[in-house]
Chains A and B, each alone.
Chain A
């Protein structure tokens, strides 16, 4: 899926040692992201996978500086490179710079998008708000309408019907697509999608997935795709980042990750994918539960659930080890001391 590359392309988005903490009490905090680093290359798509609570949403929100008031970026940086090649430090942007940057360059489709639209305004009004506030209020009504209609048509919604509708008049799938259309309005370079299909029925899921694949060609955006559903990630992503307890524990091309994972957790995740279709999107079959972020074990966070764990694992937290020297956007890295012992017996992952 990724374009042929000879030299290392400059990443669109580059996170370095990102740290996020949530305040949980007067003086207590949990570290929801612990030194997350990854790169996202232009026109490529990256799947963020991991069990519930591993920090995927937190990472998505932190990238756009949209964390709730209780959450805070406590370290690290996010760099964004625009169309013009200029790199901006997202973590250092002022409120005004952020406002301009958001949506025009980086848009996000949220988890549980059912409430993403203001219930008292029509979809058309909300699309118009988006266009106008990024054009300093100066855009002819005609153009506003045309651009909104074009975006809606590209997600195969009928503009005449949807523009004048209130959110409650649309079905879940239509709302999801209307939100994607809103995301495309300003033709951003980056689109973050957090579980864009979780709340939908299987048929509508299929429609949205096909649509995304199609839109990537048409709109040429880089995509971060957050999902529980590995089969879906396998289908849409060029690269995969596996998260566990707020850390990136493996990253590689979709092919490497699915054929030869080098972290026991990724291997288990893949084998937990229901073989035929996504009837069971929850990853229920990994024994044990993810650790509480408040009481992490001293060494590898996965050790209590890991069959390969040794005393060495419990001493210090393993760093990401680069396993293959290839162009930057093909690297494979895993945070496991015994990565050479991970032998993945492959199950068929297929999705109709």
Chain B
């Protein structure tokens, strides 16, 4: 045995574990959370302005649309319709755009998204408050179910590569992935309700059955569950396969990592390896994707909600575009944007919490 073992050695590259605390101002400037918040606000402003401009680039304005409708539907004269319109709307298309923009931004800062043009007297906030919960409920729950099933399926596929589940989910999943969700919604109606008559479309459409009141009761809950079934099935079927495939790829990669083999060598329990060693690392790169998808599916809800007459923000947006209801369009798109931005912010924070390599305090994450 060698006796002359050096005992006084400071390993190269070692550094103290505890990080010294920086001055307060420095910490705020470098604060990961603060910087992310500021960036999120900036994104919201850019999108709000973009939406404002684009809405006004739509051909026709709300007054023209109303006048044309009155003429076409009721055979009124142009003068008559125009007079009614100026009574009916408190919107004057002659207001300069920059004036409208300033009013809009000032209102936004005060939390006021304006008043609907098409239904005077109802604020945009009220309209969104009526519709948003339904979308959040149907899309959110569907997404939750889809992701949960997808992640579990993906892990099973990675563990049993080439197995029955792997092949089946790969084929079915990529098939459904290729179909846009509004097309699947139409297919469900056409095939399920019209041809096979296994779906009672007339009863299932809408948010709830007539006569049912929103309350905390089993009757209400089961009724809204019943009515949300078709949109939710649409969302789940079109996304679950994708989640499974992404998770399979991620898990497969992690399964090849040294630390998984070492964990096995250490004689750890299989359940612990699957959750804390494989699952957690496989999930990390997926969190950002989950957030992005969460934003997109709200956008995708537009057509699905229309098909099933499901009165969520998607349908609201569809209707307000038809009537050129500028403030409502702006409001809905803004809410969608905020959802996407919030989802991404949440993803970053969750990532930072789960992955120690992203340092919260040092703004290491780009």
A residues adjacent to B (C-beta < 8 A): 1, 64, 66, 68, 95, 98-104, 107-108, 110, 112-122, 129-130, 133-134, 156, 161-162, 164-166, 168-174, 177, 179, 182, 201, 203-204, 207, 210-211, 213-214, 216-217
Contacts and interface: CB of A to CB of B under 8 A. Distances in A.
Contacts of B265: 64, 66, 102-103, 107-108, 110
Contact of A210 (B6, B12, B15): B6
A99 B267 contact: yes
B2 A210 contact: yes
B362 to A, nearest CB: 13
Given A174-B11, A214-B1, A168 B16 contact: no
Given A161-B17, A169-B17, A173-B11, A66 B264 contact: yes
B355 A214 contact: no
B261 interface: yes
B84 to A, nearest CB: 65
11 contacts: A102-B267, A115-B258, A116-B262, A118-B281, A122-B356, A168-B357, A170-B14, A201-B12, A207-B6, A210-B2, A213-B5
Contact of A119 (B5, B267, B357): B357
Given A115-B258, A130-B267, A173-B11, A161 B284 contact: no
B36 to A, nearest CB: 21
Given A119-B281, A120-B280, A161-B17, A204 B263 contact: no
B2 to A, nearest CB: 5
Interface string B277-288: 100110010000
B266 to A, nearest CB: 5
Contacts of B264: 66, 102
Contact of A120 (B1, B16, B266, B355): B355
Contacts of B268: 99, 129-130, 133
Nearest to A104: B267
A113 B356 CA distance: 19
Contacts of B2: 210, 213-214
Interface of B: 1-2, 5-7, 9, 11-17, 256-259, 261-270, 272, 276-277, 280-281, 284, 354-357
Nearest to B261: A66
Contacts of B6: 207, 210
B256 to A, nearest CB: 8
Nearest to B254: A118
A185 to B, nearest CB: 9
Contacts of A120: 280-281, 284, 354-356
B14 A171 contact: yes
Contact of B272 (A113, A129, A164, A168): A129
B255 to A, nearest CB: 9
A201 B11 CA distance: 11
Contacts of A102: 264-267
Interface of B is mostly: loop
Contact of A171 (B11, B272, B354, B355): B11
Contact of B266 (A114, A130, A166, A213): A130
B315 to A, nearest CB: 42
A112 B258 contact: yes
B261 A134 contact: no
A130 B273 CA distance: 11
A245 to B, nearest CB: 25
A1 B2 CA distance: 10
A318 to B, nearest CB: 35
B271 to A, nearest CB: 10
Given A129-B276, A173-B11, A182-B266, 15 more contacts: A64-B265, A68-B256, A98-B267, A100-B267, A110-B265, A115-B257, A116-B258, A117-B262, A118-B276, A129-B268, A168-B356, A171-B11, A171-B14, A174-B14, A213-B1
Nearest to A169: B17
Contacts of B7: 156
A64 to B, nearest CB: 6
A54 to B, nearest CB: 21
Contacts of B1: 1, 213-214, 216-217
B14 to A, nearest CB: 6
A182 B262 CA distance: 11
B259 A115 contact: yes
Contact of B5 (A170, A174, A211): A211
A73 B259 CA distance: 22
Contacts of A1: 1
Nearest to B13: A171
Q: Of residues B2, B261, B267, which shows the largest number of chain A Cβ atoms within 10 Å of its Cβ? A: B267
A210 B5 contact: yes
Contacts of A166: 356-357
Contacts of A98: 267
Contact of A173 (B12, B261, B267, B272): B12
A284 B15 CA distance: 37
Contacts of A182: 266
Contacts of A119: 259, 281, 355-357
A1 to B, nearest CB: 7
Contacts of B272: 129, 133
A207 B11 CA distance: 9
Nearest to B264: A66
Contact of B17 (A99, A165, A172, A207): A165
A103 B264 CA distance: 9
B175 to A, nearest CB: 26
Contacts of B11: 171, 173-174, 177, 204, 207
A148 to B, nearest CB: 13
A16 to B, nearest CB: 22
